[in-house]
């Protein structure tokens, strides 16, 4: 069951200007330390930041709140699973909202896709509700 869908398109040049103008103040307000570390290892950090910025915007849309009702930028952290697949780790108000919109008996599963082609970066977030199984495997 789809709980929420969000997408966002971000101009990488806008992120470049924000990084130049505000530097660490911008980075620290919007991005978690692990997101900053990943971006700073890249040849084009602004593109990496822009994809993550778009992912946070898309996630806020999928949650149905935007950046209101206690949902903040750093409540959503883009991480990669061991397979390399990107997803979001939610904390704080974003996690509270996710819990509130997830139907009883279901677990939320967040799917994220990221792409960029200068000067644009895009993210799409789909939040699925997956039925919790009462099946207990035999040992």
Residues comprising the binding site for Mg(2+)? 8, 57
CA 38 to chain centre: 14
DSSP letter, residue 73: G
CA–CA separation, 88 and 111 (whole Å): 8
CA–CA separation, 37 and 57 (whole Å): 20
Annotated binding site: 8, 57
Strand partners, 76: 90
């Amino acid at each position: 069951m789809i709980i929420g869908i969000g997408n966002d398109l971000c101009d990488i040049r806008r992120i470049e200007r924000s990084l130049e103008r505000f530097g660490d103040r911008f980075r620290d307000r919007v991005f978690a330390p692990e997101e900053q570390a990943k971006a700073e290892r890249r040849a084009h950090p602004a593109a990496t930041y822009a994809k993550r910025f778009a992912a946070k915007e898309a996630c806020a849309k999928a949650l149905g709140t935007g950046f209101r009702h206690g949902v903040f930028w750093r409540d959503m952290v883009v991480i990669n699973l061991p397979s390399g697949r990107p997803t979001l780790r939610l904390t704080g108000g974003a996690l509270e909202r996710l819990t509130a919109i997830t139907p009883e008996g279901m677990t939320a599963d967040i799917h994220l896709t990221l792409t960029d082609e200068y000067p644009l970066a895009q993210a799409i977030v789909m939040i699925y509700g997956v039925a919790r199984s009462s099946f207990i495997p035999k040992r």
